[in-house]
Structure 1
């Protein structure tokens, strides 16, 4: 089905070649949690696409030219090349520690890249899209960007990094970017997935419609860069240099066969932070339009990370060091948290409490206990040796049908880089298997010899389910997936797993010996904070009797849809399902949920027997329960495993 509009039509056949890039990281700083997040997200996607049978190619690397590098190298007592050589191991070692498996690591100081930059400049120049002029304007050395006055609103500070701008006047060569504004707008309109998440499209479109200015692409006041053949004394300005790396790595300059496969006949995806979306979604496509090359298929922009609710800063000593986190929690838990905590495109907060909660609740309890319980029971009842299946019952079919649904859900989420939602779907299946244990009660079946065959079927369903779960989590947590397979008695290279491995339910042959159970995600013990004894005597204002409370009917409801109430900035109207009926509830919480559509699918509490009323012309058939503190008003969320209609007592 069409992913964009659910119109019922089939999507165009997807390309089985997949080319994925991270930004090239600037060498003047060490990698941090933000760069780790981008690279882990790219690694997970590359592993996933490979497991789906696609021919993938994954590129990362470093951006090594520019005035700031030249200045820093001189300050540190290095030549610019020596300084960049000195910094490269910081990135490669970090990616190794985070279990990143890239196909190519590109450096912009490599000869292959210099040749690519010269080639694209020559093509664009011959097309009449580069001309000589003079630039006078405000320039940020740190960001290596010129800013026109209409972006500064009278300020002399960089709108991106906040540092003071320098007034620069110099001869420069310009790229006629303004020429391609209409073509780019047309491309964005005709290709809905060109910018992901879709919420970022309007931001780019609005910027283009302001009017694109021609782009200064050369500098002659410093020398650390790629010389321009047709412009003696000038070096290539950062974006024509840096952005071309994506084509360099797949043979733009000297390997037409590779370039045709990896660029022209692949789904080409650039994964970046939202701070450089404008350069990738505007400058880069205009360069490619001028050069006559294919545009990337998707530019995917993720959000930023804070630490314990605050912007990360060395002065605040709250910068998250990936090495420290891996040492504390393990690489897989770190990878899992980053991609589960934040919806891709939204900002995320790195919180120690949240990390520990997710590890203990989702990894140790949900997944870890499922594995340990299953292997423990199989060993107890059958000595860890796989027995034959008996007759399948309806509950077994339900689990199998759910798995088929989960595969589709995960694939759809991964197409749109919705990692957190994909993991949520995987955990839906994990929760179902845990519930399956409670429903089938293997311990009760084991007491009656007549139920021995049924017991074998139940235990095999659980083992097969775990085999499939290991496949689904392998892109996110490859080491943990490997451990699950070992405990299930298989020696499997998770790097080479393919989707065909898990489409059927027959992996465990009779007589197969299961491995030994061992905790994969040990629980993290948290020191309890000492709570001071209350200094005031407890008094209850306006006490009520239990009979009074019993008059209030509170139900768990599922949010089906949310919209603004027309003409009322504070009101949202919720369509909810209470287990029996759909009803509309109006609530004055719009200011606290600006991204209210993200509430769809959540379960909350509502007073179900309140008199119906009208607010701004909209009928309200109940009241949603909220909390209020110094941080504002929040809905009271309920675990999604609780059924809509459940009574709150």
Structure 2
């Protein structure tokens, strides 16, 4: 992607009724790493996240707790959801709440347009409704209940009984868009990714689409239907519109033109909403479909998808309190391939933290800067003529930057980090082979020692830039320790796609030795 392009990315807006767990944080971090990379590249970047606050589940929970649904949502957003972003060091550009006037007003505007253009009609609907999913269920999505629910049909996801509802609702003519959607998937194979997600969506649409019930009249916690205030908009129809109401739809045409279409990063369990219903809604309104819909896998704990009700949810701060936000971000992006399910374990987290972050990257920074301090009084020496070993490091740095950028374009965050790590490993190997401590004992090898330590510090300069989207705190400390701001400017101003160009750190720069970037953690304290 050329520098100066625009890049917009969204997370799903999370349902405030649940407390955040590492599954939510995983999506946030993936979107944030991608956004930080593009921002660091000089692209016009916009990252959106937020909360979904309407629907029957919120109303019931708030009522059970003796408060209004608005008060319930306000408390959860301030006490749980916004603090999550600080815990894992997310740098979002906007935070949308579906109870904000900017959202509700433009949901009504969108809905009125579809109604005026004949895409919405009144009808009656009877079906099984799962309050937990806020969704009507097909029989194939239900299972027989057991235990206290024996004899009842239960939702396969929540294992709680569904309700048989008969309502007069408004319907969206989604069945009109099956052929157009199939043409979209055919013409733009990258529209739904990964391939497994795309195949599932294509197969679903090929079976034929039904019209979608888009209103409820049995409760009033939601956006009122503009031409009939006895109905509120179906929570999913309302929620999906956050992506354009935050981008400026209906309120700021210039911002909307810059920020839309966006890349959507979503869990695979909500893929159909984003890859089928949402593009059909946009087509009906005459708007561009998303740039891409990427369905990532689930985080598994003990072989099961995390769930608050099954007590397998792990709060992000349980990890960050011990390992820090950088390690959280690095681990989930490196250990789990975005797009596939992945298992979390404390043992794997601890092993990777110590092997890759503490011993690999952190120790490299400490050793390299300590030797500059010891042998050159903390001043980066002038490099002599580079030999084959130095030229190889420069080649690896250039390749790491180019290959990582290409991986980011594919949304392959783990591959991007692996590419950057080729430079970490190469520099560690280079130090071992060149033995600067031995060179320092020989006055005749002074020039060679200078070349070796310039190579190490310049490699660390490249790593600080390349890793700043993934481990922003450690990268900032390393940049300061390199004294690089004086000669090169702030870390945030370094173009990430140019990070591999060799020879940027000026000789004569004064370095300092930081505290360990990733201190070893006493296993008994975990």
TM-score interval, smaller chain: over 0.9
Q: TM-score, normalised by structure 2?
A: 0.94
Q: Which moved more, 1:501-510 or 1:117-126?
A: 501-510
- State yes or no: 1:272 paired with 2:269: no
**1:109 aligned onto 2:99:** yes
Output aligned runs, 1:298-337, within 5 Å. 298-313=292-307, 317-337=311-331
Report the alpha carbon displacement of residue 105 of structure 1 after superposing the two structures with TM. Answer: 0.7
Superposition pairs of residues 446-525 of structure 1, within 5 angstroms: 446-491=440-485, 493-499=490-496, 502-525=499-522
Tell me the alpha carbon deviations over residues 447-505 of structure 1, each in whole angstroms, 9 at most, x when there is no partner: 33232112111100100000111111111110000111122123464444323663433
**In the alignment, structure 1 residue 120 sits paired with structure 2 residue 103:** no
Stretches of structure 1 that go unaligned for 5 or more consecutive residues are 1-10, 529-649
Distance (whole Å) between structure 2 residues aligned to residue 337 and residue 178 of structure 1: 43
Contact persistence 1:308–1:352 (CA under 8 A): no
Match of 1:252 in 2: 249
- Aligned residue number for residue 50 of structure 2: 61
- SS of corresponding position for 2:228: coil
Per mean C-alpha deviation after superposition, the further-off stretch among 325-334 and 311-320 is: 311-320
Q: Which residue of 2 aligns with 1:399?
A: 393
Larger radius of gyration: 1
1:373 aligns with 2:367: yes
Q: Which residue of 1 aligns with 2:342?
A: 348
Q: Tell me whether 1:36 sits opposite 2:25 in the alignment.
A: yes
**Relative to 1, partners in 2 of residues 1:165 and 1:269: Cα closer, same or farther, differing over 3 Å?**
same
How far did 1:521 drift?
A: 0.7
Q: Which residue is 1:600 aligned to?
A: none
Give 1:227-266 correspondences, 5 Å limit. 227-263=224-260
SS across alignment from 1:235: strand
Deviation at residue 80 of structure 1 after TM alignment: 1.3
Tell me the secondary structure at the aligned position of residue 306 of structure 1. strand
* Pairing partner for 1:158 from 135, 155, 158: 155
Distance 1:79 1:19 in 2: 34
The 1-side partners of 2:116 and 2:194 are apart by 36
CA contact (8 A) 2:358 2:520 kept: yes
1:232/1:294 CA distance change after superposition, 3 Å: same
Query: Structure 2: how far apart are the matches of 1:316 and 1:168?
Result: 27
Distance 1:310 1:158, change over 3 A: closer
Q: Which moved more, 1:160-169 or 1:18-27?
A: 160-169
- 1:154 Cα deviation after fit: 7.9
Query: Is the Cα–Cα contact under 8 Å of residues 465 and 494 in structure 2 kept in the other structure?
Result: yes
- 2:426 pairs with 1:437: no
Q: Does 1:146 align with 2:143?
A: no
Aligned to 2:66: 77
Give the Å deviation of 1:318: 4.1
Structure 2 unmatched ranges of 5 or more: 146-152
Deviations 1:489-528 (A, max 9, x none): 2346444432366343333333321112421111223359
Aligned residue in 1 for 2:149: none
RMSD: 2.0
- Displacement, 1:14? 8.7
- Could you give the per-residue CA deviations for residues 419-463 of structure 1, whole angstroms, max 9, x where no partner exists? 111111111111011111122222232233232112111100100
Aligned to 1:178: 175
Partner of 1:409: 403
Give the distance between the partners of 1:161 and 1:496, measured in 2 at CA: 47
